[in-house]
Amino acid sequence: MQHNNNVDGLIVVNKPRGVTSFDVVAKVRRAIGQKKVGHAGTLDPNVDGVLVVALGKATKLIDELQTRPKQYVGSITLGFATETEDLDGEVISKVDIDVPFTDAAIDTAIANLNGAIKQVPPMFSAVKVGGKRLYEYARAGEDVTRPIREALIYDYKRIGATIYENKQQHFDFEATVSKGTYIRTLAVDTGLQLGVPATMSSLTRTMGSGITIAHAANLDDIATIAQSELLKLIIPIKDVLTWPTKALSDDEWFAVKNGQKIATWPASDTYLQLTYHDDVKAVYAYNKEDNVWQSRYVFTNE
C-alpha cells in the first residue's frame, strides 16, 4: 500500500449490509493510505447503499454535505412494531390485519407525511439526551423523554403494488428527505396514520449528499483494486461545490490566503467559491452584521 498524504475529494461507497459506517471509513483509510478520512451521514449496519466518504481537505465540507438531500428505497410492513423500528429489534406490538388497506388509504397516509413534519427519534439511535445516547438508555432499560425533531420530507411515495399475506401488508416506498430524518420512524408514523403498528423491513440509500448510487464503488473493490485505479474514483473538491465561482486577482488572493475579511465585493446570500489560477482555494460567506465577506472553508493558502 502506498501512502498518499494529499488525496483530497470524495469517494462514494456502496456500503453492504452487515458493515458499519466506521468499518467503511477504516477500509477506505487503509486503501488510500491517509488518516484524514470521514463520512457524511451514518448508515445503520442493516442498511446498504450510498455512503459518501470525504478525504483530506474535503473533510472540511462534511457539515455542508450532510445538509444536502438523501434518497432511500425500502419496504414497510404493516401489522407489527419492534423496539428498534426495524427488523433488528424485538417485536413490541402486533395486530392481525383482517381486511387489507386499499392502495388509496396507504397513499393518503403517506401523503400526510410529506412536507415539514416532527419526529420522535427511535430509542435505538445515537441522539444524545443528558449526555448519553438514546441507545444507551434503551440497552439499560431506562426511560427518558426523547426530543421532538423537525424533518423535511421532500418526496415520499409508494412504489409498486401492496402485498397482503399472513395477516400483514407490505409495500415498497421511495423517500427523498432532509438531514436528520429517521426513515425507520417514517415507517412507524405511516402505520400510526393507518392505526396499526408498522416496521421498516428493508432500506437502501440510493442518494447521499446529492450523489446517486450510480457513482458508488463497491467496498470490496475499493479494498482490492490497484491504487492507480482507486484514485480515479475520487471526486475532486471543485466538482463537489455548487456555489458561484469568483476568480481572484493577485491582490484578492493575497488577502484570502492571509485570512483577511473583504468588504469590496457585492453582498450575497450564497457562498462564493474562490479560485486562483483555476485552483479552488477557499469558500467565503457574507456576514450581514459586519457587511464583510469572511472565510467559511479554506482548502489551501499555497
> Which three cell numbers, joined as nine digits, stand for 95?
395486530
Known catalytic residue: 220? no
Q: Which of 8, 23, 44, 250 is catalytic?
A: 44
Amino acid (one-letter) located at 166: N
**Which DSSP string do the residues of the chain spell out, in sequence order?**
----S---EEEEEEEPTT--HHHHHHHHHHHHT-S-EEESS---TT-EEEEEEEEGGGGGGHHHHTTS-EEEEEEEEESEEETTSBTTSPEEEE---SSPPPHHHHHHHHHTTSEEEEE---SSS--EETTEEHHHHHHHT---PPPPEEEEEEEEEEEEEEEEETTEEEEEEEEEE-TT--HHHHHHHHHHHHTS-EEEEEEEEEEETTEEGGGPEEHHHHHHS-HHHHHTTPBPHHHH--S-EEEPPHHHHHHHHTT--B-SSPP-SS-EEEEETTEEEEEEEEETTTTEEEEEEE----
How many other C-beta atoms are found inside a 10 Å radius of the C-beta of residue 222?
Answer: 21
Which among 97, 92, 226 is positioned nearest to 167, based on CA atoms?
97
Catalytic residue numbers, as ranges: 44
